[in-house]
Structures are given as C-alpha cells and as structure tokens.
Amino acid sequence: MKIKPKRLEKGQTIGVVSPASPSFYKSEIVRGISTLKEWGFNVVTSDNLSRRYAYLAGPDKARAGDLNEMFSREDIDAIFVTQGGYGSARLLRYLDFDIIRENPKIFIGFSDITSIHLAILKKTGLVTFHGPGMSRFNTQDLTPYTEEQLFKALSSPDPIGEIVPADETKWINIFRGGKARGELVGGNLSLICASLGTPYEIDTAGKIFFFEELETEPWLIDHMLTHLLNAGKLQEAAGIVVGECKNCEPSKLNPGFHVTFSLEDVLEDFLTPLGVPVIFGLPLGHTRDLATVPLGVEACIDGDEGSLFIEECATVD
C-alpha cells in the first residue's frame, strides 16, 4: 500500500542524518544548517552526523540507529541526508521498517542513498524523494534551479508536472518515442544493480524506470545494463528515463581520440530494442542542477517530446 508523507512547511523541524559517508569538509554541515534555518526551519542533527569511521559516518548500527530515531521522533517532520558516498546498503538490515511505515515523513537524498530509497519503498510503500543532500545547501553549490525544484516537490500541494531541463540549451536525446505511464522508480545505476538478489530488489514491472551514473566508463555501464537485462528488469519497465550521467566517458588510450563505444552507443544498443519510450539527459543525476523527484508516484514519459511528467502529488496535508 502506498504511503505519503506530509508536505514540508516553514516552521517545521528537519532532522539531518549521514547514512553513508561523512562530509569531508565539516563546513558543509555548518553552511547547510545555516541555510535551512534561513529558509525558516528548525534543525535537529543526528549523533553521528560528523563522525568519521574510515569512509563511513560511524558504524553501521549507529548510522541505522540515527535514521530509526529520526523516523520515530514526533518532533521531527522531515529527514534530510548530508550526502551519499558509500555505506547505505550496509545499514539496511538494521533499519526498523515498522517504525518507518508507522511514522511516514519526507526522506530525501540521492546517489548512494538509492539503497535506502529502494528498501523503504519495497518494505513500507512510503514515497521518498530522489534529490539533493544538505551538503550542497549553500550559496556556492545550490543553484536556483535545484532550490526551486526542491520546494516544488516537497512543499507544493500540486503534482510537480514536467521535469524541465535546467538550461534550455540542454539536449534531450530520444532513443525511442511513444508514451507510457507508471510509478516512477530508480536512482543510481550501481546501487540499483546491487539490490538484485536481495530483499530490497528493485521492482520495474509496469514502472517508469530511471537511472543515472557518475564517472563510469561506458563498458561498465554496459556491464550493469547487461545485469539488469539478464535479470529481466529492463524488459519489464513501461518506459525508461536516463538522467545526465556526469563524466561517463571512455578512458583515452590515445590522447587525441576515444577508441571505444560512447555512452550513447551503449544506451542505444540496450534500450532501443525494448520497444518502450526511452529518453536521455534530464537533470536527475550528479549534476550541478538537480531536479527532486518522488519515488513511487504516477509518472508519464513522452518519448515523442522527450519529456517526463510527475502526475501525482507526493505529499499530503
């Protein structure tokens, strides 16, 4: 059963957690908290927010405990992560999904946080949000587009509507036209593949499936798409949206030119034969301008126009 969180309003309290890696620069946390307060929110930070445990923000049970606590506390209205990095999947076995189901709240993050999004949706039906971490909530890193799309997703009583490119000069590549509707699911490609064979495995059947990736060579994306194809996940999707994949270029064996397939070549090879609408290039990944999208709500892909529409409101009064 689908569960929706209450929409975000000024004066509410945001709990901030680090489920994966800690911020390298502690000033990111200070600036992020300051921005949230300037926006009119109260802020509560988790115990392990800035803890350093190798490349993790504390041991697995401690990080999971922070997230469980934020969901259980009545004085917390929404939960923001600081960033991704690595480690989210390590805490899934320690999450209390009963607490999460019984205390629906906005939960937002992306990249490595994909593991948590997939698990929460699978185990509770709660709509969560693929969007920016708090580490970029400062005048240097937060663009007007990212801020606008954040509040459009979390605070508006209406569906988001079309996910428009941040820049009108951006090109949306249409691999296959047509229209399709279904619940939006997805996230970072590496983490989606890592969910296969686990209790948190992504369900793409009849869904609008989106993915994005960062600094990954095309042959590795080929490897991951092959894995999804062999698992039947690509064939089950009603439509596919590929976000901007930052720096996903082949390594150069000769400084003058590439000598292998491009990312577009790989995507076309795998996705066009599926017979469903496929578009590439929306701001849904590791980009400076990042749209916030709800996971688990009805969406529509228009492959003829190269558009994605969020047709269902993700929050309730």
Active site (catalytic) residues: 111, 212, 286
Q: Are 57 and 125 in contact (CB under 8 A)?
A: no
Please report, as a single letter, which amino acid is at residue 239: G
Question: Can you say whether the dihedral through the CA atoms of 66, 67, 71, 77 is positive or negative?
Answer: positive
Q: Are 308 and 282 in contact (CB under 8 A)?
A: yes
| Backbone region of residue 104 per phi and psi (left: phi > 0; alpha: psi in -120 to 50; beta: other values) | beta
